[in-house]
Amino acid sequence: MASDAHSSLDDPRTHLRAFGGTFVVVALVVLLASVTVSLGIALLDAAGVDRESALGLALRSAFQFVGFGIAGAGFLLVTDQSDLVPVRRPTRQDLTWLVGGFFGLLGLFVAVSGLLSVLGIQGADSAIVAQGSDQPIYFLYLIPVTILLVGPTEELIFRGVVQGLFRRAYGSGFAIAAASAVFAAVHVTSYSGDGLLATLATVLVLGGVLGVVYEKSENLVVPAVIHGLFNTVQFVAVYATTTGLVSL
């Protein structure tokens, strides 16, 4: 995929397709996620599931990422760009990238977190952690959600569509950086507090790792699985500390 930048930079349509397409797909994500969450809440109410319970919150998250998936798949189908996102059954080489990428991502996260701690920089408060602080089972409910929906749909949007659009116009290096920046930007509402910039910078770096793995593997399944597993480790760790199974 590294050699997919065929468009002339002298043609304004090249920039319009990349930046305009990114704007459209992100706008669709916001719109359709809101719609699917609203419909999902109505279903929860009809089923008698408390929308503020651990299960209700996890299902609301699931509905949100269903919207992500519809937005990404819909954009590719309507614009006839399905070939922009390579998806196939993982090969042995893909599995190598998957394992290496997962442990690389995890190790980098630990290293960055340690560096910030040494520098006395506090990370931002997570909205997800706040939601589950008084009902830790919420974090366990999120595990199947993140493996089946969050990882696949976020990677479809940010690595598949956004990185693909930028790669086609400007090449892989710019595409990885730009897609990672968009990925970090949309996470602004997920965090709050004085450490917001440090946390978003961390998200930016981690997104870059996923972008590199995607370019190398040329298979969206690889970063999607890594993303889901990485989030799973985080949820298990938060559950363990919240419930007192592990003390820090």
Note the pLDDT of residue 243.
92
pLDDT tens string 194-224: 899 999 999 999 999 999 999 999 999 999 9
pLDDT tens string 95-151: 999 999 999 999 999 999 999 999 999 889 999 999 999 999 999 999 999 999 999
pLDDT tens string 157-181: 999 999 999 999 999 999 999 999 9
Q: Tell me the C-alpha distance between 216 and 214, whole Å.
A: 5
Mean pLDDT of 20-29: 97
3, pLDDT greater than 70: no
Note the pLDDT of residue 27.
97
Note the pLDDT of residue 245.
85
Note the pLDDT of residue 2.
55
Note the pLDDT of residue 169.
95
Note the pLDDT of residue 10.
75
Note the pLDDT of residue 22.
97
Mark out the alpha helices in the chain (DSSP H runs): 12-15, 21-47, 54-78, 92-118, 127-131, 137-145, 151-155, 164-170, 172-185, 196-217, 221-242
Cβ atoms of residues 158 and 22 within 8 Å: no
pLDDT tens string 51-99: 999 999 999 999 999 999 999 999 999 999 999 999 999 999 999 999 9
Three-state DSSP at 125 gives strand
